[in-house]
Amino acid sequence: MTEGPDFTLENIAREGLIEPSGTEQAAHDGTGRVDLAFTVHSTGDAAPTQRGVRVPPGVTVFDSASWNGIAIDSTCGGHGTCHKCKVKVEGGSVPITRHDVRTFTSDQIAEGWRLACLVQATRDLAIEVPPLTTRPKAATVGVGRQVILRPALVKRYVELEEATLADQRTDLVRLTDAISDLELNADLHVLRRLSTVLRQSDFKVTAVIIDEDLIDVEPGDTTGERYAIAFDLGTTTVVATLLDVGTGTPVAVASMLNKQQPFGGDVITRISATMMDPDALGRLQEAAGATLAELAVQVCAEGGIDPAQVYEVAIAGNATMTALVLGIDPEPLGVAPFVMSTAQPPTVLASDVGLTLHPRARAVFFPALGAYVGGDIVAGMLATGMDRDKRTRLFIDVGTNCEIVLSDGDTILSTAAPAGPAFEGGAIRCGMRAADGAIEVIKLDATSEPGVTLGVIGDVEPRGLCGSGLVDAVAELVKVKLLDSSGRFVPEVDALDIAPVLAHRLTKIGEERVFILHQPTPDSPPDECVYLSQRDVRELQFAKAAISTGWTLLLEQLELEHLDIQQVLLAGSFGSYLSPASAVRIGLVPQLPVLRIVAAGNVAGEGAKMALLSLRERAGATALIEEVAYVELSDRPDFNDKFVEQLSF
């Protein structure tokens, strides 16, 4: 096993899972993605639920499940030691590890039983998840991080002695004396209920505590109901995970587009909206709150949970999203010198951000490192253990604004690079979001038919090109040499020699040269096709140059070379679906063996879950404000030179 720090376990480090002692490593080239069909059984008579999950190849089945809110038994956190994460892989010609041999009978292994944390998803799989047998005291969240459950939300059931003239302790003291290991503060809300609830329930009550604040007393024993919601509040997409913080189990997951979309696709257009229209801030705040509220209703309904049993939410969002949902004017974030109101938003009532949960439910936010390295990135750093891992690691969240974090195991630097809208499908002629009809995977073959192989979301007629498809398209065109290293399409006269099977696809729309990726019918003119234009290549080129300039400058600052990087984490919804091989090929990430490049999934959401499950992790996030240096690129005199250097493929 790789030597990790002793207090965290990394199971996504694929190198770490290639055990010298006989574990087979499934071959994969780091491109494309795989579909996993989970059948989740639960205790009792409930029918099993079906869940389809799409992940980059090489991710473990355990992580694939965990990222998507599917609970699998585990106490070791996916380290291959607890032997609890048993799943049955259907049609399973998946490798057998020595841990499987120790855990299962040969009949079971023949039936497909495996430990989920050791099965890498290198092809489409159908997986049966048995009912949970344990209520884990630790949970695996983030990128395979094992979190000991010590949630801020605590419930204590107590049976109190009734008062007498000889024992006139106040109701509050009577209660807190019974919970003497905690120092409790009571707010007005709970004092208004306390004496009534105590007397109506014969002094048998459950104290609801967040951190050290007594937020409610509930009649009888309600310790079984402890819920919280983790929100990844993205500019585009918002994801909610309903968590049982007593067990660390995700109960339900839902996502939807941020209702702020009508104000613009990225943070700059939303900030601009507030500068043009004095009412826009209020409306953006409301839209963000409505998004959170709708998702909360959805996950509670799906989980069969009364929203009043949700006592805490954690919200991971970039600085602009965080400001907007709190009703804080974002204008200073949008104009130089890019200043935040505060790096650490205060904890507020969930109702302050539009949520109708328990009336005193809290909303906690992640701190931000800068106006463009926000709470979502800090959450992601938490989820990936950027602050705890001793390896040299590069974290890249690819998007309109691209956040980059580099750690040499000691010093941590962060920066933001303005990548522009290319990766979100904006400013790309045939660009679209990663939705049905989007080409997300492209393979080109210069010499044998069919020449172009497309992976399309939803397996429907291709309608456009999403970010990962764009990167694949450019990477493959560079590979087959139809794009030169300066990013120019080769002259048509040379194309036939270079790539005989593909050359006919290189044509023009007006004056602009394009490469046809998909022609709906043989008669379709180029402008009715899905194509990549010369300008699209330039857009991507500028984006990748901005990003690579970012990590190049950070590497220089830590006096590191590319090859010193032991792991590159690609984060965010886009990063997760980017082909590592293509990302390397176009220079979006450093030139490294593809196995060192890891899709980290929705790390912001995972960080939010960790903050709900562990006060220690939450404190770790706050500590990052002090621990991580923020490098402002726009202030660097050498930025432009580096940027030009990085333009070529």
Q: Which residues bind a second copy (CB under 8 A)?
A: 163-173, 185-188, 191-192, 194-196, 199, 326-329, 331-332, 336-343, 345-346, 348, 352, 370-371, 630, 632, 634-635
Residue 344 or residue 356: which is nearer to a second copy going by CB? 344
Considering the complex, what minimum distance in angstroms separates the CB of residue 501 from a second copy? 51
Instruction: Report the relative pairing of strands 464-465 and 86-90 from DSSP bridges.
Output: unpaired
Residue linked to tokens 């009703």: 327
Strands (E), 41-144: 49-55, 86-90, 113-115, 125-129, 138-141
Considering the complex, what minimum distance in angstroms separates the CB of residue 108 from a second copy? 55
Task: Give the sign of the dihedral formed by CA 120, CA 122, CA 128, CA 131.
Answer: positive
The pair of structure tokens assigned to 370 is 């800068």
Residue 243 or residue 369: which is nearer to a second copy going by CB? 369
CA distance 14 to 612: 27
Task: Give the sign of the dihedral formed by CA 571, CA 574, CA 579, CA 582.
Answer: negative
Helices and strands counted in the chain (H then E): 19, 29
- 8 A C-beta contact, residue 249 and residue 71: yes
Residue 29 or residue 187: which is nearer to a second copy going by CB? 187
CA distance 390 to 99: 26
Residue 255 or residue 341: which is nearer to a second copy going by CB? 341
Residue 157 or residue 630: which is nearer to a second copy going by CB? 630
Residues 6+ apart with CB under 8 A from 451: 444, 445, 499, 501, 502, 505
What distance lies between CA 632 and its chain's CA centroid?
24
Residue 224 or residue 346: which is nearer to a second copy going by CB? 346
- Category of 327 on φ-ψ map: left (φ > 0), alpha (ψ -120 to 50) or beta: left
Residue 52 or residue 337: which is nearer to a second copy going by CB? 337
Cβ-based neighbour number of residue 623 at 10 Å: 12
Considering the complex, what minimum distance in angstroms separates the CB of residue 356 from a second copy? 18
What distance lies between CA 531 and its chain's CA centroid?
30
- 8 A C-beta contact, residue 385 and residue 365: no
Residue 346 or residue 491: which is nearer to a second copy going by CB? 346
Residue 178 or residue 348: which is nearer to a second copy going by CB? 348
Considering the complex, what minimum distance in angstroms separates the CB of residue 394 from a second copy? 23
The pair of structure tokens assigned to 95 is 């490798």
Residue linked to tokens 């209702």: 259
Residue 383: strand, helix, or coil = helix
CA distance 381 to 620: 10
Residue 165 or residue 493: which is nearer to a second copy going by CB? 165
Q: What is the 3-state secondary structure (H, E, C) of 19-36?
A: CCCCCCCCCCCCCCCEEE
Residue linked to tokens 């990549």: 532
The pair of structure tokens assigned to 328 is 């804080």
Residue 341 or residue 519: which is nearer to a second copy going by CB? 341
Considering the complex, what minimum distance in angstroms separates the CB of residue 197 from a second copy? 10
- Category of 572 on φ-ψ map: left (φ > 0), alpha (ψ -120 to 50) or beta: left
CA distance 341 to 150: 30
Q: Residue 608: phi, psi to the nearest 5?
A: -65, -40
Residue 185 or residue 524: which is nearer to a second copy going by CB? 185
